[in-house]
Structure 1
Amino acid sequence: MKCVEKSAKTVDEAVEIALRELNLNKDQVEIEILEEPTKGLFGLLGGKPAKVKVIKKENPSLRAKELLENIMRAMNLKVEINAEENDEKIKFNINGPDLGILIGRRGETLDALQYLVNLSANKNFEKRKRILLDIENYRKRREETLRKLAYRLADKAKQRGRNVVLEPMNSMERRIIHTALQDRADIYTFSEGDEPYRKIIISPKK
């Protein structure tokens, strides 16, 4: 936990000095006033300055955002990071130019980054929060692509009367395929194989 104690003529001045040293703003810290300033005799002798303790807040959301900002800075990427948070999860939307390097082949780099941020941000917190990362709405576009693929391959399985085997996918993408086809009465889906090579089979009903 980062914290500093600072003294100055006023509480506000002491807080400002501490914030500059921590390189944080007020909504990222907790402020404890240790001593109020006092005036000396006739306003000249024996006065005491204000003294404050400024403590950096710690929670999964702040920790995750700080980690993401540090990664982007290290990679010389200029981005805008926006967060949407509820009691169960935090979703970070990352926008900026030339971010394909963070997505990788079929989102593999993005998934790996999301995994690492989840581990780091939730470390030593009793209540964990699920952290989701998206870049330039990639996940939404990928979901639409997978749904279209599911419909097309389901029609193919029905027309040919035999199973269609999809390429290996992660659990999130497999869930999209299963959900897209769960109301079809003419086919059914199931998964087989072990991670990371687990794949979906679309099978026509006899």
Structure 2
Amino acid sequence: MKIVKVSGKTIEEAVASAVTELDAKTKDHIDYKVIEEPKKGFLGLLGNRSALIEAQRKPDPAEEADRFLRAVIEDMGVPIQVAKEETRDRKVMFQLYGEDPGIVIGRHGKTLDSLQYLVQLAANRYADKHITIAIDAGNYRERRRETLKQLAENLASKAERTGGKVELEPMPPQERKIIHAALQRSRRIKTYSDGTEPRRYVVIAPV
């Protein structure tokens, strides 16, 4: 991390110079400490001393997330490329590309979910306000969403036909939400979650 020492007639002037030198957006994007306070000399002329500060840019959560994700993928030794997109609602989206994205997706997206969880932790170590990290590979998220919706409809028909409840396999919270949302308008079927994390699952049952 680049650290600079900057002087100015006042602390505010030194801080403004540090913002420029560190190529930061505003003073809120830097950390600084005052090394020397400004001092006026005799009659405001002799012995004047400028303010001196030491400053560095605050780590940017999105940049830290990007750096962490690339390092993990490099350690995995897989030929995957990373593209980052930031949105205005404090969300950072990463798209992973490669000839075999299945390596970073894993069974039912478990590897992808683990990556997303770790990158989220890495990013929010440096965030003043919580930011959301989303990672996708080979459009897996959308394909999985459609698969879960179809699964929900099929199992809802089974529960209605047999008159008994149907238990799905354990799923992460975001996938359980897809099942619940897909069937929430049904008047003949109800859904609820049961079990404890990480083995929590959805139950589909007739009303």
Decide whether the 8 Å contact of 1:151 with 1:181 is kept in 2: yes
Distance 1:170 1:76 in 2: 25
Q: For structure 1, which runs of at least 5 residues remain unmatched after alignment?
A: 6-27, 32-52
Distance 1:133 1:150, change over 3 A: same
Q: CA deviation at 1:55?
A: 5.9
Q: CA deviation at 1:4?
A: 5.9
Decide whether the 8 Å contact of 2:159 with 2:206 is kept in 1: yes
Does residue 76 of structure 2 align to residue 71 of structure 1? Answer: no
1:98-126 alpha-carbon deviations (Å, 9 max, x no partner): 12121111111111111111111111432
Instruction: Compute the TM-score of the two structures, normalised by the length of structure 2.
Output: 0.71
Percent identity, aligned pairs only, is 42
Match of 1:149 in 2: 151
- Which AA in structure 2 matches 1:167? E
Match of 1:15 in 2: none
- Which AA in structure 1 matches 2:74? R
- Which AA in structure 1 matches 2:60? N
Distance 1:81 1:124 in 2: 21
Does residue 183 of structure 2 align to residue 184 of structure 1? Answer: no
- Which AA in structure 2 matches 1:62? E
Match of 1:58 in 2: 59
Q: CA deviation at 1:132?
A: 1.0
Match of 1:160 in 2: 162
Q: For structure 2, which runs of at least 5 residues remain unmatched after alignment?
A: 5-21, 26-53
Q: How many residues align?
A: 163
Q: CA deviation at 1:88?
A: 2.8
Decide whether the 8 Å contact of 1:89 with 1:132 is kept in 2: yes
Match of 2:130 in 1: 128
Match of 2:114 in 1: 112
Instruction: Compute the TM-score of the two structures, normalised by the length of structure 1.
Output: 0.71
Distance 2:105 2:78 in 1: 16
Distance 1:150 1:76, change over 3 A: closer
Distance 2:80 2:198 in 1: 32
Distance 1:176 1:152 in 2: 14
Decide whether the 8 Å contact of 1:91 with 1:132 is kept in 2: yes
Q: CA deviation at 1:193?
A: 0.9
Distance 1:76 1:203 in 2: 43
Match of 2:196 in 1: 194
Distance 1:3 1:143 in 2: 43
Secondary structure of the equivalent of 2:203? Answer: strand
How large is the Cα RMSD of the aligned pairs?
2.5
Match of 1:3 in 2: 2
Decide whether the 8 Å contact of 1:79 with 1:97 is kept in 2: no
Q: CA deviation at 1:143?
A: 0.5
User: Higher mean Cα deviation, 123-132 or 110-119?
Assistant: 123-132
